[in-house]
Structure 1
Amino acid sequence: MKILLAPDKFKGSLTARQVCEAMTEGIRLAHPTAEIIPLPMADGGEGTAEVLTMATGGQWLTVPVFDPLGRLIEASYGISADGQTAFVEMSQASGLRVLQRHEYNPMKASTFGTGELILDAINRGVSQLVLGIGGSATNDAGIGMAAALGWQFLDHNGDSLAPCGGNLSAIRRIIPPALPLNLVVDVACDVTNPLFGPNGAAAIYGPQKGASADDIEHLDRGLQHLAGLIYDQFGIDLADVPGAGAAGGLGAGALFFLRATLKEGAKVVMEQTRFVDHLAGTDLVLTGEGKIDNQTLQGKLIHGIAQQARSFGVPTVAICGTLDAPPADLMALGLEAAFSVLNRPQSLDEALATAYETVSLTTFNVIRLLLKH
């Protein structure tokens, strides 16, 4: 029996790799001779870069960069074993995760540190980049990232501007770097917001980054101004591209400054891990995440895994912490079945603390049940 393990993380308790380890332990108890293929997965959000680095046998690097407010920190990214692909999460350098709540300030925050991570990877010889853009603290449309890569943003006096959200409206001229970027870039992006307007980056995501009502109005004008300037100077219209408003406009910045392609996060992960290649000869796919509910239906990962497996005639079973979806929804996802690891009343703290053991036990029961048929 060949079993492919393709779980997401159980947020707050287990990484995707740890879920695979717990599942493996349960399978070994139920079926000692089973062939097990662990393939930790992610949906394009937090942890994606590490999952992809692991899947490609790569190395995890830590380098000094600037945080959103210009302070020196250490941030990490991955490079595949062949040295050709870098896996970068902007949240490592430019995310809310590196700030205290009282420091949130999208007027001053910059994606410069993300650009430094990308530059470090370029200097190591990569030819491809996978960029995750969730969890941003910024609203600078990627001009900070671009500045780290050699772009210049000048005011009406021809002086360089600090590349932050509050200065977008002051830009009068954009100067590209002397050498063009020779890099193929895929951006994991599940947001479809336009760059500016009522559904744009500032209006929708500004408040959670610390923006006041006046800040939001200023930032939105800045994003609109930048879009107009890029169109006037370079003939490229970014305003209404779905996903342009992702990560404080970094979606648009990646499209323009990196010549990137925006893709669904789960699709990027499944491509990079070569998920389909692992399905040949597989008898069962085990997937899962911390909670299966209506949000799972709106997501892409478990649905994509189950649908791809079904096309190969392979059944998919999910294991989760909380199961809050009716049978019709599970069938819509393409799952054969789903099982919660919660086998008795527990507090949240206890459930998180015992997740490894309960995932292992539930996997054991699933495999024992399947072996009876």
Structure 2
Amino acid sequence: MEANRVYNFNPGPAMQPLEVLKEAQAEFLNFGGSGESIIEISHRAKEFDAVLNQAKADILELMKLGDDYDVLFLQGGASMQFAMVPLNYAVDGKVGNYVVSGSFAEKAYKEADLLGVGHIAASSKDVDFRHIPTQDEIKLSDNAAYLHVCYNNTIYGTEYHYIPETGNVPLIADMSSDMLSRPLDFSKFTLIYAGAQKNLGPAGVTVVVAKKDFLAKSPKTIPTMLRYSIHAEKNSAYNTPPAFCIYMVGKTAAWLKAQGGLEVMAERNAKKAKLVYDVLDNSDGFYKGHADKDSRSFMNVTFRLPTEDLEKKFVEEAKAHQLCGVKGHRSVGGMRTSIYNAMPMEGVERLADFMEKFKKANA
């Protein structure tokens, strides 16, 4: 680890690969010999076109998707997608179906409900979002436009370990917290979106990966900036795109390829998560995980300590050990350690060691 840098367990904006940060630093003042920074170069320039198109190609390669899929770089965060999805696709008498498995899944549903086109197909709210609803729990409406799932629930520390079967109904996923963290059969999804600030790059850009023919279906009755079809036609440059963020997402995708791809990342992420979960499971109840074991996230480990005073002490002492951002979301309290792709094994080893020592000193 570089001197004066900490292990950042924040859920987002999150830790970025050090190699990517160094590359961006080295070429920040003079991108590609242009004499300009990437943040100064025109978004219409061929140099920026090359950056954007390479990022798209690398993302599709990592996901093993063909040319029937496209990649868009949009703004407004994943939260904007909560509205864009129903505006574009819950039309002609059809309604969006939602699995409500956490806070952001519920927010997505509420946007559709606000538009009068939302249906809850399954929910785990009654058990405090401790598990991911099973396939058998999902009940699609007869007029389903799509099924929307939030694939990883950052606040509650749960994650899908199966891909829902929807028949002919399009499957849409918010993958903000686990995008490109493991291989999946991404061809089973019609549209995937992710806020970049967790696993993909800095805050400020949302990555959308979707079937081209689905993107083309936007109604012309909704505002231009909210139509997927417009952004697809203009290659994400209908208006000035977040150039630096796209550049950083491209750098991150290239880094993932250099690491060995999603198979390698999945192996690393599983090992990192196991280190923390093993501490929880062998703590004699000192640490209590929130998520049911069969729904545990590889990306966000959430847990409580015996008292709130101990939780405050845990946060303070962790920071003194260069372990930052471990405090849980205000809505649930406790601890949350986000161990995304960029978090090195050494950081998780140091966290696990700290947790063991903290328990011995305070149990």
Normalization by structure 1: what TM-score? 0.25
Structure number with greater CO (CA < 8 Å, separation at least 6) is: 2
Normalization by structure 2: what TM-score? 0.25
Q: Which has the larger radius of gyration?
A: 1
